[in-house]
Amino acid sequence: MRRSLPWTLVLCAVLAGCGDDDPTGMGVGDGGADGSSSGDDGGGSTVDGGVALGTTFKLSGMVTDFVSGQAVPGQATVNTSGLAPAPTVSVTGASYQITGIAPFSVFHVLAGAAPTHRSTYNMASTVDAADVTGVVSRALGETTLTAYQTAFAVTPMAGRGILIARTLDMTGSARAGIAATAFQLGGQAPPHTPLFLDAARAAAPTATSTTASGYVVFYDVMPGLVTVNATTASGFTFSGPQAPVAAGTVSLVDLVVTAGAAQPPTNVSFSTQVFPIFTRRGCETCHSGNGIGRDLGGLTLNGSTTLVLRELTQELSPNYNITRVNKAMPEMSKLLTMPSFEQPADRHPNVTFASASDRDYQLILAWIKEGAKDN
């Protein structure tokens, strides 16, 4: 199943050190098909999707200017975040190739081209069970950033980052008319009034809402993982990933805007809604008897629903000595926290749920809130 939205991420990448409890341990891209094999507790030489054990894939693309879309001049710089072990990155001019990527991996490309282009975190890239080509990674030009600062009359604070979000409708088209007062960062007012770009991605200092481009700019954002959300009074819901922000860098993120408050799922069935997630999102490739990780962290997510339910709700994690489902504090359940972005990072070495707005995260959370029933 191909990802239709850029933040729909794989729950558990196939990594040598992957595991819910394992102690060993962010360009938009899209990979091939998800695996759907449920596996068993016996041996085997393939992981989900029929990929041979030890198989790795590559992702290739080009670093381009955020405004013009043209290849950056000189030698680009490309790094990855979210892969363990780190893959090999080779760069020739503006083109790059990342090799040694385990199947069912999600990560961020940090692309730039000093001294002309600032290092920029792009949307998450996904590699499922095939090579990925033609990835476009954007970088903000220093002249563009200077023009923005001049037009907006902003002097960025040292030690902070710049976050540029794009508001979209459900079809992926830019969404205009979202007022500055609608935006929050992590449930709080942004450190600087949101500013907007016009249809040509130039600064629009007099704009008070998103234009035809959908772009909104946040200055002086504290480093860390940042969620852009809508105020209750706005009448909107923003759905999108957390964005990695670092001092002196730019981060790009897409937000789908819908009317009304988000409605969490209800009456969630473990057997028909939660249990299939572990196959659909690649979790059982590490947490199974025949996966690369072979039951990492003592957690098995393949087999019968009865077995998996017991692993989640009754068995104690050997590394934390608690059950992986926390009915008293559902959001703190290891089943949710381990495969989610956190800073500092926890023991889970692979890329995870991009945000709490992920549909599968919401299904699991609702199931736990409803008592983690055997239903």
pLDDT digits (tens, 9 = 90+) for 4-23: 333 333 333 333 333 333 32
Give me the pLDDT at residue 53, please.
Answer: 59
127 vs 111: CA distance, rounded Å: 18
Distances (CA, A) of 73 to 78, 110, 154, 305: 14, 17, 27, 54
CATH number for the domain including 94? 2.60.40.1120
CATH number for the domain including 189? 2.60.40
CB atoms within 10 A of CB 318: 12
Q: Is residue 264 part of a domain?
A: no
Single out the residue in 259, 289, 313 at which a domain terminates: 259
Q: Is residue 11 part of a domain?
A: no
* Total number of domains constituting the chain: 3
Do β-strands 195-196 and 224-226 pair in parallel, antiparallel, or remain unpaired?
unpaired
pLDDT digits (tens, 9 = 90+) for 182-194: 999 999 999 999 9
Q: Is residue 32 part of a domain?
A: no
Q: Is residue 294 part of a domain?
A: yes
pLDDT at 248 over 80: yes
For residue 357, what are the domain limits?
270-369
289 vs 37: CA distance, rounded Å: 13
pLDDT at 196 over 70: yes
What average pLDDT does this structure show over 29-37? 29
332 vs 346: CA distance, rounded Å: 13
Q: Are residues 312 and 227 in the same domain?
A: no
pLDDT at 350 over 60: no
Single out the residue in 94, 109, 140 at which a domain terminates: 140
Single out the residue in 259, 287, 310 at which a domain terminates: 259
CB atoms within 10 A of CB 181: 14
Give me the pLDDT at residue 341, please.
Answer: 65
Torsion of CA 293, 295, 299, 305, to 10 degrees: 120
pLDDT at 333 over 60: yes
pLDDT digits (tens, 9 = 90+) for 94-135: 999 999 987 777 788 999 999 999 999 998 888 877 999 999
pLDDT digits (tens, 9 = 90+) for 250-288: 999 999 999 987 778 899 999 999 998 888 877 777 777
202 vs 358: CA distance, rounded Å: 31
Average pLDDT in the chain: 82
Q: Is 181 helix (H, G, I), strand (E, B) or coil?
A: helix
